[in-house]
Structure 1
């Protein structure tokens, strides 16, 4: 049996600001809908990912102000760093550790993202 992660919620205080931030990253807004006055659902997907992230209002998935820590695998940490910098996203320099190379950044609501280049195994 396969278990495929489809959707991970993140908490944001301003839905439009968050949507703009993730659009700057080149993440596609797969959905943005308000089926009622008290509900808005936005789903964004990073390029190449089978998993999406959602945020909005009235979702009840996370407590308000709850920040996530999400780790994403990338092929090349230097390229990921350049990708973020080219889009004006503040990020850390590439950090080399025994278990990979890492670039960190945060969204405007403090959700922390870690991009990891896995170590080459010989």
Structure 2
């Protein structure tokens, strides 16, 4: 069986504010559909992605801003940092893990630190794939991680 991740439903408090943010960040607007006064969905796709995000009226029981660790992958994290800041998006500085690559997820921390991990400023020293990161949040606090991958692990 072949499975592909297609859609992630984001919990947001203000549909128009979220729509403006994801337009500003450069995601492609696929759908903004309203049916009556009580139903609206907005659907975006990040450039180069097959997986999309969607938000709208009462689409999820999750609290706005409760999704953390949503990954976007780029070939050049310095270019991504410059483009996002140029669009007026508040992003972290580029960082890497002192002990190697970030693994695991601890209590909703968008930096994905485990006990004993140390987040260091700057690119991974060897500029290794999977080694350099930056983070940002949407207006509700849903947390995104951008990770640089120049060469994927075999089988990916």
Tell whether the structures are fold-level matches, with TM greater than 0.5: yes
CA distance in 1, matches of 2:11, 2:149: 28
Deviation at 1:92, TM superposition (A): 0.6
Q: How many residues align?
A: 121
Q: Name the SS for the 2:132 alignment partner.
A: strand
Report what 2:34 is aligned to: 34
Does the residue aligned with 2:78 lie in a helix, a strand or coil?
A: helix
Aligned structure 1 segments of 4 or more residues deviating by more than 6 angstroms: none
Range with greater deviation from structure 2 (101-110 or 33-42)? 33-42
- In structure 2, the residue matched to 1:93 is 93
SS at match of 1:36: coil
| RMSD of aligned residue pairs (Cα, Å) | 1.8
- Give the equivalent residue in structure 2 for 1:4: 4
Match of 1:64 in 2: 63
Measure, in 1, the Cα distance between the counterparts of 2:47 and 2:134: 17
Q: Distance in 2 between matches of 1:28 and 1:6?
A: 15
2:35 is paired with a residue of what secondary structure? Answer: strand
2: CA distance, partners of 1:106 / 1:4:
25
2:15 matches 1:44: no
* Aligned counterpart, 2:84: 84
Larger Rg: 2
Stretches of structure 2 lacking an aligned partner (at least 5 in a row): 102-130
The question of 1:102 aligning with 2:101 is answered no
State the partner residue of 1:53: 53
Alignment CA distance shift 1:90-1:104 (3 Å): same
CA contact (8 A) 1:40 1:58 kept: no
Is the contact made by 1:9 and 1:62 (CA closer than 8 Å) also made in structure 2? no
Q: Which runs of 5+ in 1 are unaligned?
A: none
Whose strand proportion is higher, 1 or 2? 1
